[in-house]
Structure 1
Amino acid sequence: MNSWDKRFQNLEYVYGEQPNTFIKDYADYLKNCPNLAAYAEGEGRNAVFLAAEGHTVTAFDYAQSGLEKTQQLAKRHDVIVETQLTDLLQDEIPVEIFDAAIMVFGHFHVEHQHDIFKRIIDSVKPGGLIMMELYSIYQLPYASGGPNQLEFLYDPIDVLSWCQSHKILHFFTGEQVRNEGILHTGLAHTIQFIIEKS
């Protein structure tokens, strides 16, 4: 059992049951993307929301307990979400299968971040969309959520450089209020982007 498995063991949804505000507010971008992947999806709040919007959604996470809670949440909302137990650092993921992919606050060590980013982009068809919200390196003093280690946060300049070979539809970094369950509370410093794969 890994640390995320332990975190999701309890009955409470530690990041809440409502979708991330960025995903909810920008969901219209995905309207022509029927088949979606949700990476590092945790307890399934975003995957269930997008399934309820009419998308076919596959949620990837490496915490079995999180995927089980995803299925329970989907059942309560009367939608279907496929789940795959996946370690994004090691396991194979599909290539050019999805019309879009999302990841919300996927926490990876700085030495793996670009590789994870590339793998997620590779899973999307050319012309497909990738949407992410991440905690920036400026998040530490806010103490409102996310890792408390700098090396698990994202540098906005790095993220922008990774996006530049694709069409950038939206890019933002700065303060956002995030009240998501018990672990994301209050003012935060995030990075958001939506890109169209070249």
Structure 2
Amino acid sequence: MNSWDKRFQTVEYVYGEQPNTFIKNYADYLKNYTNIAAYAEGEGRNAVFLASEGHTVTAFDYAQSGLQKTQQLAKKYDVIVETKLTDLLQDELPVEFFDAAIMVFGHFPVEQQYEVLKRIIDSVKPGGLIMMELYSIYQLPYASGGPKQLEFLYDPIDVLAWCQSHKILHFFTGEQVRNEGILHTGLAHTIQFIIEKS
């Protein structure tokens, strides 16, 4: 059992049942994209929200307990979400299969961040959308959530460089208020992007 498995073994949804604010506020970008992958999806709040908006959603996570909670949440809101137990660093992902992909606060060591991002982009068809919100390296002094180790945070300059070969529809880095469950509370420093795959 990994640490995320342990974290999600609670009745309570530690990141809440409501979608991430960025995903909710920018969901219109996804309206013509039917088949969506939600990566590092945890307890399923974003996947269930997108399913309730009419999308076909597959949630990927490597915590079995998180995926079980995703199914419970989908049932509660009367939607269907497919779940796949997946290690984004090691397991095969579909290639050019999804119309769009999202990832919210997926934490990976700095030397593996580009590889994960690339694999997520590869899983989307050309012309598809990729949307993410990540904690930036400037999040460290904030007490509002996210990893406490610098090597699990993202450098906005790196992320912008990784997006550069695609059409950037939205890019933001700076302070955002995030009140999501008990583990994301208050002012945070994030990176957001929406890109259209070349």
Matched, 1:79 2:79: yes
Distance in 1 (alpha carbons) for counterparts of 2:124 and 2:91? 17
Distance in 2 (alpha carbons) for counterparts of 1:89 and 1:195? 22
Query: In the TM superposition, what whole-angstrom CA distance separates every residue of 1:123-180 from its partner, at most 9, and x where no partner exists?
Result: 0000000000000000010121000000000000000000000000000000000000
Residue 52 of structure 1 aligns with which residue?
52
The residue type paired with residue 99 of structure 1 is: D
Residue 167 of structure 2 aligns with which residue?
167
> Displacement, 1:13?
0.3
The residue type paired with residue 138 of structure 1 is: Y
TM-score by length of 2: 1.00
Matched, 1:140 2:150: no
Query: In the TM superposition, what whole-angstrom CA distance separates every residue of 1:71-126 from its partner, at most 9, and x where no partner exists?
Result: 00000000000000000000001000000000000000000000000000000000
The residue type paired with residue 174 of structure 2 is: G
Distance in 2 (alpha carbons) for counterparts of 1:68 and 1:53? 21
Partner SS, residue 23 of structure 1:
helix
Ranges in structure 1 where 5+ consecutive residues have no aligned partner: none
Moved beyond 2 Å, runs of 4+: none
Residue 119 of structure 1 aligns with which residue?
119
Distance in 1 (alpha carbons) for counterparts of 2:189 and 2:26? 18
Ranges in structure 2 where 5+ consecutive residues have no aligned partner: none
> Displacement, 1:40?
0.0
The residue type paired with residue 117 of structure 2 is: F
Distance in 2 (alpha carbons) for counterparts of 1:190 and 1:12? 25
The residue type paired with residue 66 of structure 1 is: G
Residue 14 of structure 1 aligns with which residue?
14
Distance in 2 (alpha carbons) for counterparts of 1:143 and 1:92? 35
Partner SS, residue 118 of structure 1:
helix
Query: In the TM superposition, what whole-angstrom CA distance separates every residue of 1:16-58 from its partner, at most 9, and x where no partner exists?
Result: 0000000000000000100000000000000000000000000
The residue type paired with residue 35 of structure 2 is: N
The residue type paired with residue 131 of structure 2 is: M
TM-score by length of 1: 1.00
Distance in 1 (alpha carbons) for counterparts of 2:44 and 2:28? 19
Distance in 1 (alpha carbons) for counterparts of 2:72 and 2:53? 18
Distance in 2 (alpha carbons) for counterparts of 1:185 and 1:143? 8
The residue type paired with residue 168 of structure 1 is: I
Indicate the RMSD between aligned Cα atoms, in angstroms: 0.2
Partner SS, residue 170 of structure 2:
strand
